[in-house]
């Protein structure tokens, strides 16, 4: 009996030791102060908040500033309502830098299974991280669209008419400086009509979101409009299409493709050769010009969607945190490299600045 008790005790001890050995340890890395992005500062779209709590705090701060700007321009805004999680802190940044209340290691442990979903195999791939980033930024973009819809929907019917929409102030300034108005097509009625998928003369929330963020659209009408705009802006001889020089001088350098980038950044390499090759590939009827339809294959390269930036950030973060270089991240790697994921909000005083990687 005593022997059995000893064996049972040893088995329990061994089990606990094994459990502790596989459990992720809290790394002994120095705390680095996190900083929220400034409200209404025109968030760099290349910088995506990894943590939904951070995103929610930033969104609420931005909403507050937006309300002051649009509804209380004289500064007579109502008192701040209580905020969840961080309501006890005068400054939200104090909350995210209080390790007892907001610990980046604990947050990563909690978020890991929410990211590891395709499939849930104990590893986070770059594609899984990109999808996570995309969900965060799509939520942010749609929130801003809903806010703008509230501002412009004057009759409160849940739709935006062209007459209701007031373009940003910079459009009017640009129009005043350019009497022809050629460069303000972004806010003209044809843009509105291209966003109006069902053709009822009104934009619902989804259509209004596409109107404000056409690079993210899957609508053929809006993609066609984007192509038309690219040609209109660069068509020097006004013949409704692009010849090679118009393509090469005004558009080719804007195309974001790895194969194009590698060709044009080789030492002493001529950029005209890869430009001619791409032009030839796009010129399906071989007439020496690019039409609206022929330019469509590169519209996604000229106007990168949020998915492009989400994947770009995911690839970079994965390469930085992937200690064993197997092309994916396990929980241990993410825990040991927390500030790679939170680097979009590290203070400028830190020796690492995430934004520099994408300039």
- Let me know: does 166 contact 152? Beta carbons within 8 Å: yes
Residue 329 DSSP symbol: E
List pLDDT tens digits, range 128-156: 999 999 999 999 999 999 999 999 999 99
The two most distant CA atoms of the chain are separated, in Å, by 99
**CA–CA distance, 86 with 128 (Å, rounded to integer):** 29
Q: In which band, very low, low, confident or very high, does the pLDDT at 217 lie, cut at 50, 70 and 90?
A: very high
- Let me know: does 92 contact 57? Beta carbons within 8 Å: yes
**CA–CA distance, 198 with 159 (Å, rounded to integer):** 13
For residue 81, give the H/E element and its range. Answer: none
In the predicted structure, residue 358 carries a pLDDT above the cut 60: no
Q: Is the bond leading into 119 cis (omega within 30 degrees of zero)?
A: yes
Q: What is the pTM of this model?
A: 0.76
Q: Helix 306-321 to helix 126-152 angle, to the nearest 10 degrees?
A: 140
Total residue length of the chain: 359
pLDDT of residue 79: 45
Mean pLDDT computed over every residue of the chain: 79
List pLDDT tens digits, range 47-106: 788 999 999 988 888 888 888 877 765 544 444 444 444 454 457 788 888 888 889 999
pLDDT of residue 100: 86
> The tokens of 39 are what?
């409200």
Cα distance from N-terminal residue to C-terminal residue, the chain? 71
């Amino acid at each position: 009996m005593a022997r059995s008790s000893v064996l049972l005790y040893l088995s329990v001890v061994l089990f606990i030791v094994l459990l502790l050995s596989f459990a992720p340890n809290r790394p002994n890395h120095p705390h680095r102060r996190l900083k929220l992005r400034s409200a209404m500062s025109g968030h760099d779209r290349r910088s995506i908040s990894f943590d939904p709590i951070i995103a929610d705090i930033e969104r609420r701060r931005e909403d507050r500033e937006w309300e002051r700007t649009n509804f209380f321009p004289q500064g007579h805004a109502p008192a701040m309502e209580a905020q969840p999680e961080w309501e006890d802190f005068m400054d939200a940044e104090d909350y995210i830098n209080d390790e007892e209340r907001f610990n980046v290691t604990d947050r990563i442990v909690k978020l890991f299974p929410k990211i590891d979903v395709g499939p849930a195999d104990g590893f986070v791939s770059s594609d899984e991280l990109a999808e996570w980033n995309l969900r965060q930024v799509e939520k942010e973009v749609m929130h801003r669209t809903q806010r703008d819809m509230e501002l412009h929907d004057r009759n409160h019917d849940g739709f935006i008419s062209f007459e209701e929409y007031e373009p940003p102030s910079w459009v009017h300034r640009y129009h005043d400086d350019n009497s022809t108005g050629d460069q303000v097509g972004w806010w003209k009625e044809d843009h509105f009509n291209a966003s109006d998928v069902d053709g009822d003369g009104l934009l619902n929330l989804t259509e209004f979101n596409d109107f404000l963020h056409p690079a993210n659209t899957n609508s053929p009408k809006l993609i066609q409009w984007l192509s038309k705009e690219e040609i209109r802006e660069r068509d020097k001889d006004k013949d409704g299409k692009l010849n090679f020089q118009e393509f090469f001088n005004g558009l080719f350098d804007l195309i974001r493709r790895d194969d194009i980038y590698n060709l044009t950044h080789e030492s002493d390499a001529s950029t005209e050769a890869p430009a001619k090759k791409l032009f030839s590939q796009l010129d399906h009827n071989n007439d020496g010009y690019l039409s609206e339809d022929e330019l469509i294959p590169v519209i996604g390269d000229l106007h990168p969607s949020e998915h492009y930036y989400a994947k770009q950030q995911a690839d970079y973060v994965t390469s930085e945190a992937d200690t064993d270089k197997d092309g994916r991240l396990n929980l241990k790697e993410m825990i040991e490299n927390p500030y790679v994921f939170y680097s979009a909000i590290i203070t400028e005083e830190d020796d690492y600045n995430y934004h520099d990687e994408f300039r």
